Structure formats: structure tokens, C-alpha cells
Amino acid sequence: MKIALAQLNYHIGNFEFNTQKIIQTLTEQKAAGADLVVFAELSICGYPPRDFLEYPEFIALCKQAALEIAEACEGIACIVGVPELNPVIEGKDLYNAAYFMADGEIKQVIRKALLPTYDVFDEYRYFEPAHEFKCVDYKGYKIAVTICEDLWNLGDNPLYKACPMDELIKEEPDFMVNIAASPFAYNHDEQRIVILSQNCHKYQIPLFYVNQVGAHTELIFDGGSLVFDKAGDIVSELKYFEEDVQIFDVGQVKSSIVLSENQERPSDTAQVHQALVLGVRDYFQKLGFKKAILGLSGGIDSALVCALACEALGAENVMAVLLPSKYSSDHSVKDALDLVKNIGCKHTTLPIAQVAAAFEETLAQEFEGLAPSLAEENIQARSRGVLLMAMSNKFGYVLLNTSNKSESAVGYGTLYGDMCGAISVIGDCYKTQVFQLARYINRNGEIIPENTIVKPPSAELRPDQKDSDSLPEYDILDKILFEYIELKKSSKEIIEQGFDVDLVKKVLNLVNNAEFKRYQTPPILRVSPKAFGMGRRMPIVGKYLF
């Protein structure tokens, strides 16, 4: 039997698009000799559909699409992910399910048992866990079909009390099929390979694993679908960050015959670069947007976002706006113009000195007798935000936010100023990662000017200002932030690593006190295992004694 793994890019709620993509793939793979085509988790509606699942019409459209796909399964079978109504009144109204389709109809329903409810996942909000398990029989093979998390309950600290495969293996299946929607983080591909390989080693049968690819606002899916032999060795690996469909002969996999050379997995920095480009491109394409705008300061953050946007959308669709203040240095303006020249995007210059002065004049009576402070600095940042949003409204541009994770973590940014935008491109990249990404973008020649990379970072909102005036050096700050945010270490544990006591307490205070700002920022493209946004849910008014 020949199995095609279909790693496709779906669009949440776009049933016509998803259905036609699935049917077209079925037609192509039938012509190529496949007997069974495997699609990703909730592929009919796209993952994650979130509260769309609460609308009865949405579920009805899912079923309608599934029946249309089933009609196309003549002379070929498929496994496709779909939300399914729970026929029992008790419990949640839906199952996260997979349909096995053949001979023009839905032959069998497989339901997900282990429902992730952590980090970015919230499946128990919608779905009832399965309690019954049965293999699929097709063309003389017995197939153990599971859905994503159902294979992840291994290790020293399992999240769930049972494993679906422990029940399915009792039927002596020939191989496993796992359909997934496994989002990208720069360390997740290694984790994924380890856990899937462990399943093969434990149950001593091969595994065909298919992931989706593409971005859905914050969440980016990297693909990287896999085939393992019964020993847990990789037989084949599909492409990362792009659609891919490959056919495999079950007999060869069971015999551990290597079908193709595995691709060399890119570095973490290269993966993050690919993920961010895909995240920007899909955000625009799936929302029907074409043109982006951003403020280009001459600093490394906006330079990196500009370069990523040009790669994702085409330089002709990116407008870079220089917004110099009375404190902007000549070299910052030159660095910004050098980037524009290197990259070929559109640009214009809108000085903000007069705009900021108008605000200050209006507030002169209220501020009389008070020394200049953060208020005047923020007026400049908000003046930039007003001008960028005016350009966005007038010309149909979508504003890209250029804040990095280090800034967002400690609140080093101005609400309704540099923190505004429709999508935060590098909001999950620490400043040290920003430098790495800039170097990576320049790997084949200078795109981001060298001076932009090597000069001390500055918001340029007061004379001779540098980020280091307010924050520790980024190589130290980012290490503390990583320990606290990603690794969830306490202040005591961080201090024991050798960091200064007062510095650790200051940084953690800044993180906790900036929560109200992060609640008002744009959605952030997630590339780490713990991003701000839907995956990190903290109270704004809570007091955490660290």
C-alpha cells in the first residue's frame, strides 16, 4: 500500500479553499498511485479555529465540506481532521476527530483523547476526550490512527493518565498514523522527533506523521512531517516552512528501507528567519492585505522588520517611513537610507519636530514649571504613531510593529506610539536574537547596514540617549529574562547563577509591572517555546512575591 503525506497550508474557516485544496491533492495523488492520503489535524476548518467552534453553522459547514471530500474518495482513501458533534448530551459538544474516508463515504471516525490545555493550546475548552479506540482496517493493513497530542504522553512526567496507543496496540496494528497541528518554536523540531521516535521504539511499529504548514496570526506551523521505521529511525522528512506531499510504500518502511536522503535541518536562527517570513506573508495573504508600512529609525529592530517584510511581501509592497526627531542623529538617517537603497523598498521622510512641538505647546500651561520628563519623550513616540496610522488609513497600508521581546518584557516602549501596529513581527525575539537574525540576513552580502548592527541601540528621544542608560546590557538582560520567562525560574534561582541581586529584582519587577502594556500590544509571531500573548497568561493586578 502507498501512503501520501499531504503537508498543506490551510486557512481557518475558509471552507471552499480548504476543501478544494484537499480534493485537488486527492486527485493528484490518486494519479500518482497513492492508496491513502493523510491530511493534518482539523484540516477541514484549519487549526486553531478557537471560538468559531461555538457556532453551530461553523460545525455544519465542516460536516458539509467533509461529505464533499468523501465523494472524491473513489479509488482512493483519506484521513482528514474535522470537528465532530458529540452525540451524547453529557460532556462537551464536540470531539476533535479524524474521518477515515473511502468508497465515497465516511467509513470510520477516530476521536482525539488527549486534549492539550497549556501554553497556546486550549482544546478542553471545546472538545470532549475520547475513551474508546479502534484501529482502521484498509487494504489488508490494520492502522492505529491518533491525533497529535495522543502520542505525546511519554516521558518521566506525563500530563495524562493514559495513552491511546496502549489500547490500540492490543489490536496488533501494522503501523501508526498521527495527524497533527504542531506549532513552531525554534526548539520544537528536535522535541518532536524525540517523542515520535520513542513511540516507535515503544510499540515496535512504523509511524507516518503529518503536520500542517503555514501561519495563523500568532501561531506558525513549520511542517516537517516525518516517517519512522519500527526502531524509531527517521526514514524520511518532508520540507520545512512550505507545502510538501510525498508518497511512501508501507512495505519499504516496514522493511526499514531508506526512501530518501533526509534534509539537513537548518540552524535555530535560520528556522526563526523562515518562520517570521512565513508569518508575515500568511498574515497578509489570508487577510487579503498587500502593502505594509513601518517606521524606519536607522536602528536594528526596524531594519530587521523591514528586511523580513520585503522578503515576505516584495520590496515594492513595503513603505518605510523615516520619522526623525530633533534628537535623531545624522548617522541614523543615513543608516535608514542605506537600508532602503540596499533593499529597494519605498520610503518617505516625515520629520516629527513640529508635530511634537505642537503637542508640547498645547500642554505648555498644564506642564508649566515642570522639568522635561518621560512625558515629552513619549509625545515624540506617539507623534510617530499618529503619522504612521494616518498613512495606514489613507493608503491602505498595514502597520508592522517593530518592538523586540526584550523591550516588551521590561516595558521599554510607548503605548500608542512605537508599540502600535497590526502584527508584531519580532516581539518574540530577544535583542540578542535580533542581532543574530541581522547577521543571518547579511549572510550573502550586506542588506542591513553594518553601522546599524554595531552602533549602541538608542530610542533617540532625548540628547545622547542609549538603551543602556535605562537597561542593563542586552546580553545580560536577555539571560535573566530567558530564565524568568521561558524557564520560569524564581529570583532566588536566578541570583544563585551569579547575577547581581539588585539587578535581578529590578528586571523581574519591570517584567511584572509591564503586564498592562503587553495586554494592549499587537499579536506577536510566536517563535519561542514561551511567547507573550496567548501562551503566557498573567494577571495584570496580581502581586507575585519573587
pLDDT in tens, 26-51: 999 999 999 999 999 999 999 999 99
Confidence (pLDDT) at 462: 60
Collect all residues with Cβ–Cβ distance below 8 Å to 31 and sequence separation of at least 6.
Answer: none
Set of cell numbers at residue 124: 478542553
170 is in an annotated binding site: no
Assigned C-alpha cell, 391: 498613512
321/171 Cα distance (integer angstroms)? 64
Cα separation, 88 vs 311, in Å, equals 50
Report residue 392's pLDDT band, with 50, 70 and 90 as the boundaries. Answer: very high
What residue has cell string 508575515? 280
pLDDT over 70, % of the chain:
96
pLDDT-derived band at 229 (thresholds 50, 70, 90) equals very high
Evaluate if residue 221 carries a pLDDT over 60.
Answer: yes
Query: Could you give the 3-state DSSP secondary structure of residue 248?
Result: strand
Q: Report residue 330's pLDDT band, with 50, 70 and 90 as the boundaries.
A: confident
pLDDT score of 327: 78
Confidence band for 542, pLDDT divided at 50, 70 and 90: confident
Of 383, 381, 376, 380, nearest to 402 by C-alpha is 381
In this structure, are strands 234-237 and 318-322 parallel, antiparallel, or unpaired?
unpaired
User: Looking at residue 16, what is its pLDDT?
Assistant: 97
Interatomic CA distance for residues 489 and 496, integer angstroms:
11
b (16+ CB within 10 A) / e for 23-47: bebbeebbeeebbbbbbbbbbbbbb
Structure-block grid coordinates of residue 276: 517570521
User: pLDDT confidence of 460, banded at 50, 70, 90?
Assistant: low
Given a cut of 80, whether residue 452 has pLDDT beyond it is: yes
**2-265: CATH architecture:** 4-Layer Sandwich (3.60)
Q: Is 389 exposed, middle or buried (0-12, 13-18, 19+ CB in 10 A)?
A: middle
Residues 6+ apart with CB under 8 A from 378: 414, 417, 461
> Is there a contact between 74 and 107 (Cβ–Cβ < 8 Å)?
no
Q: What is the torsional sign of CA 398, 404, 408, 412?
A: negative
Mean pLDDT of 414-430: 97
334 is catalytic: no
Exactly one of 21, 30, 112, 286 is catalytic; name it.
Answer: 112
Q: How does 482-492 read in b/e, with b if 16+ C-beta sit within 10 Å?
A: bbbbbeebebe
Which residues, including other chains, have CB under 8 Å from residue 97's CB and lie 6 or more apart? 81, 82, 83, 84, 109, 110, 111, 112, 147
Q: What are φ and ψ of residue 5, in 5° steps?
A: -95, 120
Q: Is 112 a catalytic residue?
A: yes
- Contact at 8 Å (CB) between 81 and 41? yes
230 is written with which cell numbers? Answer: 519500527
Which amino acid, 426? I
Give the integer Cα–Cα distance in Å for 121 and 144.
24
251 is in an annotated binding site: no
Q: Is 118 annotated as a binding residue?
A: yes
Residue 297 known to bind ligand: yes
Catalytic, out of 30, 41, 135, 291: 41
For residues 494 and 361, the answer to whether their CB atoms sit within 8 Å is no
pLDDT given at position 457: 74
Cβ within 8 Å of residue 492, ≥6 positions away: none
383 in a labelled binding site: no
Kindly state the percentage of the chain with pLDDT values over 90.
Answer: 90
pLDDT tier, 461 (very low <50, low <70, confident <90, very high otherwise): low
N residues, the chain: 546
Pairwise CA distance, residues 485 & 476, whole Å? 14
Say what the pLDDT of residue 262 is.
60
488-497 CB contacts, 8 Å cutoff, 24+ apart? 490/546, 491/546
Does the annotation count 306 as an active-site position?
no
- How confident is residue 320, by pLDDT bands cut at 50, 70 and 90? very high
Instruction: Give strand ranges (E) for 36-150.
Output: 36-38, 77-85, 94-102, 105-111, 136-138, 141-147
Q: What is the DSSP letter of 262?
A: P
DSSP symbol at 149 = G
Q: Which CATH class is domain 271-467?
A: alpha beta
From the candidates 135, 148, 306, 310, which is the catalytic residue?
Answer: 148
Determine the average pLDDT of the residues in 491-513: 95
402 is in an annotated binding site: yes
Q: Using alpha carbons only, what angle is made at residue 156 by residues 150 and 161, rounded to the nearest 5 degrees?
A: 45
Q: Is 193 annotated as a binding residue?
A: no
Domain spans, the chain: 2-265, 271-467
Q: For cell 496580581, what's the residue? A: 542
pLDDT of residue 459: 62
**Residue pair 246/4 in contact by the 8 Å Cβ criterion:** yes
The candidate with the shortest Cα–Cα distance to 448, out of 311, 284, 275, is 311
- DSSP at 128: P
Average pLDDT, the chain: 94
Q: In what order do the strands lie in the sheet with 423-424?
A: 346-349, 318-322, 292-295, 398-401, 423-424
Q: Which of 235-253 are b and which e, b meaning 16 or more Cβ less than 10 Å from the residue's Cβ? A: bbbbbbbebbbbbbebebb
**Whole-number Å distance between alpha carbons of 322 and 320:** 7
pLDDT given for residue 492 in this prediction: 94
Amino acid identity, residue 490? S
Which one is predicted more confidently, 112 or 461?
112
Res 469: pLDDT: 74
What nine digits make up the cell of 255?
Answer: 522493511
Mean pLDDT of 71-79: 97
Q: Stretch 511-517: mean pLDDT, rounded?
A: 95
Is residue 172 scored above 80 in pLDDT? yes
Set of cell numbers at residue 424? 508584531
Task: Summarize pLDDT for 246-282 with one digit per residue, the tens.
Answer: 999 999 997 666 555 566 778 999 999 999 999 999 9
Q: Mind listing the pLDDT tens digit for each residue in 466-480? A: 767 778 899 999 999
